[in-house]
Structure 1
Amino acid sequence: MKQKRFLIIAGGFLLLFLVFIPSVHADSGQTYEVGTDSLNVRSAPAHSAEVIGQLNDGDRLVVFDKAFGWVQTYYYGQVAWVASDYLFAVNGVTSVNQKEITVTADEVRLRTGPGTQHNILGYASSGDTYTMVKTSNKWNKIILNDGSVAWIASWLTDTSGSNHPAESSENNNHATKQSGGSLAGYNIVLDPGHGGKDPGAIGIGGTFEKGIIMDTADNVAKQLRDAGATVILTRKDDYFIPLEERVRISNAYNTHAFISLHYNAYPSLAINGVSTYFHSGGDDRVLASEIQSAIAQKVPLKDRGVMQKGYHVLRENNDLSVLIELGFITNPYDLDTVRTAEYHNNVAEGVVEGLKNYFNE
């Protein structure tokens, strides 16, 4: 059995804290458990505050105060704050921000884990209500009537606010196909890499990655909107956006997919091609595969496949997310190709098709 780490390191620390804290809220001292991976511990209750540590799924902390969606605790003797959305009570089923969810479709599968690859425990019907204790990659962990736990797709409950199609009871696909393959109801955060003081990759003739990527992003955004999607751009022009802000933008919306667009570089002129990256397996990898396959069929560049890597915008993102490297600007053929309007349009078609294949099949 995995030994869970406890944020209050020793009993002596806890006694010291209780002595020197004059007043706290009524639920002060309640122990909570982390329900997500890589949860940042910050010096103040704000996403812009300094990160002083990290917690992982299953770690525990004692809450002494709450404010603005954050809880106050202590981290190695230092006052610390953690976002409350990812915590649930150890001695009960209530989260810090308690959420009751309602199922919005019939014959919805209850699974043993957060993804369609996990075994089916049973089924829920439209109108059934459950207490949610955590969320992971668009799946909700819920408490069943007998006290056991199960996972349900968030797009089939009233917590997601999306129009994601219902999970089929006839097969193992994660969704039934929507009429016409529309992306209506889906929020896509499009992240053009680099910008401003950050040129990104530097290619042949001093070509800057940031100078090409916006043309691609504009084409992708237009075709996504034409397909019915709501598109949020992390930047709309040549200015600098920190990685943390790009992730914050994604996490601030009811984001169904985050897509970061880039061009690559390498010391050898011979290296070329298109690749799509994901951080974790499961749905992220499935989406990466769908987008990579669709783009590869529409552009003349080498298909380098899907790869796993811990890029910040993927690793720190709470949403479904991928990063696409759309060619090497250090390769003469790739560079000539990616500069064309035809290439930008073909990439956009591939991204749209990949998203449709993921969401609507």
Structure 2
Amino acid sequence: MDMEEVSNKQVILKHYVTGSPKDSDLEIRTTSVKLEVPQGSGAVVVKNLYLSCDPYMRGRMSMTKPHGTYIDSFTPGKPIVGIGVAKVVDSDNPNFKKGDLVAGMTGWEEYTIITATQSQSLFKIQHKEDDDVPLSYYTGLLGPAGMTAYVGLYELCSPKKGDSVFVSAASGAVGQLVGQFAKLFGCYVVGSAGTKQKVDLLKNKFGFDEAFNYKEEQDLDAALKRYFPKGIDLYFENVGGKMLDAVLLNMNLKGCIIVCGMISQYNLEKHEGVHNLFCLISKQIRMEGFLVSDYYHLYPKYLEMMLPLIKEGKVTYVEDVAEGLEAAPAALIGLFSGHNVGKQLVAISHDNI
């Protein structure tokens, strides 16, 4: 006998977006879904528990890609998708069984049917009821944000003790970890953020040596010279634009710039020009962008390093949690004006976690 349908609240992209996105570009709709999958389909149906709000999702809200992209646009009229943590409700997939906790790409909705092909992006979470690591961490610290910080710093541009490291957007999901990882190396670390609250967080909670509010600086070049009188050895780039231009002037010979994101540019139809690129030649700087998805084979190695650090209190992580699917549009849009403090996520359900 067919299982009864249940209601399924969803976050829908109403239309493609140009310029700065607004809450009204998204809407909440309610449809229905059967909590079972056909035999032979290889699909799973999951109950979504936590959803991750990430800056890259802004590009998926636009139809045109003037700056290039590495992922398809969302489809207007359909639920948006992103990284989430979920519980398997029904499965025809041998890799997953009912009750499994999983992380990976899922819909911004209460329940998602994930096809056999899509399920390749899911991985099982080995989470115990008495585990002192919150399940929500798998959207960030133990998910893509943590892996991004780890890969950029450890694998691509490993610093040395005493190096000077600058992190922009430093209180965000990735930046807060980059700074803490660099401190574990014995580096001098400075971060920039957009409010006094975030600056205080960087210095007093995350252990950055210094931090500054970039909105209060009339001259970013002068600000960087003040905090890095001997220059910058490693820059973890999250912002782009004027910040990158100023950093290039302050990089040391044979320094390293790891490009993770450029959030200052995401709402612009035409990116700001960067004028000091000649510094790449004159200072022999290595500048490298990367996609964390190319490094997921290192995830077991990352967990082996990270779980003990969490349990020993050597790494701190701050989450900004919006409660309920109704709060999801504002939580996502708020990323692009700096409303979040720490890793932004949405908690949909705390059932049986």
Fold-level match, TM-score > 0.5? no
Larger Rg: 1
